[in-house]
Amino acid sequence: MKMRFLAPTLALAATFSLVLVGCNRESPKGGPGADKANKGTTGTTTTDSSDRSETFTIKVPPGNTNVKQGEQTEMNISISRGKNFDQDVTLTFAPPEGVQVTPDTVKAKKGDDSAKITVKALDNATPGTTNIKVTGTPATGTATSVDMGIEIKKKS
């Protein structure tokens, strides 16, 4: 009797694990050490901690943030800095048609670890799931980007 419940339980656990892995909303590494640090993630090259310490990543809210047509919401974007990364990072946003991001550019100065933006779905925004591309460009080194998910809901 116990064996019948084992297979569904394992299937449910595997599905849950896939959902958690798929929810990651963090960019690859950017900054002066990014080229070396990112190569280490493929398993072909090893990296030392100095490569990672000179990098940053962008973190956006997990999943999709709901915004109704004609309405807006405030969102936080985080910057995770390696211990030796002290550059300003310019964040730019590429929203889909019918969506506005204010401000359209944010400079996260040395020591800043987050930025607030406002996302507005215009009245003509197409309902459904879409992404805003968030790009972080350091003063020197490699830029990086991540997709921030939003769900546009039909105006009631």
pLDDT at 67 (0 to 100): 97
pTM metric for this prediction: 0.71
DSSP, res 142: B
Token pair listed for 129: 């799931």
Please list, in sequence order, all residues whose beta carbon lies within 8 angstroms of the beta carbon of residue 15, skipping any fewer than 6 positions away.
none
Residue 49 sits at the vertex; the CA angle it makes with 45 and 50, to the nearest 5 degrees, is: 100
Class in CATH terms, 26-153? mainly beta
pLDDT at 112 (0 to 100): 87
pLDDT at 56 (0 to 100): 92
In whole angstroms, give the CA distance from residue 57 to residue 79.
Answer: 6
For residue range 25-54, what is the model confidence (pLDDT) as tens digits?
776 777 676 555 555 443 333 334 446 678
Token pair listed for 12: 């449910």
For residue range 95-139, what is the model confidence (pLDDT) as tens digits?
999 999 999 999 999 888 999 999 999 999 999 999 999 999 999
* φ, ψ at 146 (rounded to 5°): -150, 150
Rounded alpha-carbon distances, angstroms, from residue 35 to 6, 20, 39, 88, 149: 44, 27, 6, 19, 26
pLDDT at 110 (0 to 100): 87
Token pair listed for 55: 């990098």
